[in-house]
């Protein structure tokens, strides 16, 4: 039907818009302009909530901006929306509520990603996230090891 075709075309357009914002955000991140990267990446996720690359990049950019709480929110959201790891992540209402301190959330998030690595030990994305998480907790040796595995 016409409405189905219109819905499909709208989703395709949103996907293209999301990728464009993601690529612009990544370019800003590569130039060490994380504030601009965050703005673009947020628009990418607004256009397509399933844009996993944009969610992951947001987590990294928030880390670079020393916003651990938002970094953790986006990394956990990435895990929850990833089809291979969604079952590991806590329910949506548990994420971002700030019911416990950032260090406890960081430790819990690291544990979630370590379990995910158990499922996919060769995933570069998972090892990169672990590097970011170890950096957040100031475990620099572990961060270097994770980045090397990525």
With cut-offs at 50, 70 and 90, classify the pLDDT of residue 28.
very high
For residues 58 and 75, the answer to whether their CB atoms sit within 8 Å is no
Q: How large is the average pLDDT for residues 66-92?
A: 87
For residues 116 and 126, the answer to whether their CB atoms sit within 8 Å is yes
The structure's pTM equals: 0.81
Burial class (CB in 10 A: 0-12, 13-18, 19+), 46: middle
Q: In the 8-state DSSP scheme, what is residue 84?
A: T
Of 15-19, 96-100, 109-113, 144-148, the range with the lowest mean pLDDT is 96-100
């Amino acid at each position: 039907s016409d409405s189905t075709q219109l819905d499909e075309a709208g989703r395709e357009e949103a996907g293209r818009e999301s990728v464009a914002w993601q690529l612009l955000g990544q370019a800003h991140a590569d130039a060490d302009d994380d504030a601009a990267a965050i703005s673009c990446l947020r628009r990418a996720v607004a256009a397509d909530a399933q844009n996993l690359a944009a969610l992951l990049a947001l987590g990294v950019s928030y880390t670079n901006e020393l916003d651990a709480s938002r970094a953790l929110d986006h990394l956990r959201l990435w895990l929850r929306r990833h089809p291979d790891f969604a079952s590991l992540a806590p329910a949506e209402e548990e994420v971002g509520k700030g019911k416990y301190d950032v260090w406890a959330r960081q430790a819990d998030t690291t544990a979630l990603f370590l379990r995910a690595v158990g499922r996919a030990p060769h995933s570069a994305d998972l090892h990169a996230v672990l590097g970011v998480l170890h950096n957040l907790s100031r475990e620099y040796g572990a961060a270097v090891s994770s980045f090397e595995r990525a």
